[in-house]
Amino acid sequence: MKLRRTLMWILASMVAACFVLVDATESYAQPRKTRRGPHLRKPTPEELEEMKAGDKTAGILLFKMTDIDGEQVELKQFSGKVILMVNIASQSEYAQQVTDLQTLYDKYKDQGLVILAFPSNDFQHEPGNTDEIKAFCREKYKATFHVFEKASVKGDSACELYKFLSDKKNSAHGGEIENDFTKFLIDRKGETRARYKASEKPGSKKMTAMIERLLKVRVAGKEGEAAGKKDGEGEKKDENKEEEAGGEKKEKEKTTPNE
């Protein structure tokens, strides 16, 4: 009797073990849910840091926006440029500043300045559709700088780019956009270096001085490197001349008889 009970217990244990093994095998065989990539949603702060660490670009250069013609524009293409970003509106009291922006762009574009304009109706001054905004920028004011599609720039509805710009954790120049034609000046690395209120006219002494300062950072470095290289080549030539002159002098002393 005791032996029979022992055999039944062993058999039950083996059957239970088989059920556990089958269940584990089926669970493993089931396909895992694929995680959506970060390009399909808003990047988390951790992912944003990873993106920065894995890319030489930083700040706003990590974003992709759609321009007024419906084309996708990766802002990292402006890496190495000085960027002036501004939210514009055709019915704003500052709309005339589009002319000033174009003048500024014409003056400094060959030195590396780009202007990125973002139409916005956050202050109820841009009710127009895409065609009307194009006419405002390109026909009325002959703007040739980059203009993007209409986007929100403040509050919970703000696009991810402007949420990043407005976040004080990302820059000392953060804070909610207070009016149309708020301007951000970005250096060649994609970092925000200055912010100007709507009343600050593009081309003002204050803004121009900062733009020129940022433009010189890279240009001056290249010129300095070239100048240093040129000076070094000149010094080498002088040293070679001195060596040649010294050698000729010694050769002359050998061939000249003592008196």
In the chain, the domains with their CATH numbers are 45-216 (3.40.30.10)
Q: Residue 235: what pLDDT?
A: 43
**86-99 residue pLDDT tens:** 999 999 999 999 99
What pLDDT does residue 247 have? 55
Max CA pair span of the chain: 136
pLDDT for the residue numbered 244 = 58
**pLDDT for the residue 59:** 84
Q: Return the pLDDT at 220.
A: 42
Q: Is 174 helix (H, G, I), strand (E, B) or coil?
A: coil
Q: Which residues of the chain have a pLDDT value below 50?
A: 20, 22, 25, 27-41, 51-57, 219-239, 258-259
Instruction: Copy the structure tokens of residue 24.
Output: 């584990």
- The rounded percent of the chain whose pLDDT value lies above 90 is 59
Predicted confidence (pLDDT) per residue in 32-83, tens digit: 433 333 333 455 565 555 544 444 446 889 999 999 999 999 999 999 999 9
Sign of CA dihedral 8, 10, 14, 17: positive
Which of 125, 108, 109 is closest to 198 using CA atoms?
Answer: 125
Residue type, 91: Q
Q: What DSSP designation does 67 have?
A: B
What letter would DSSP give residue 42? P
Per-residue pLDDT, 68 = 97
pLDDT of residue 217: 86
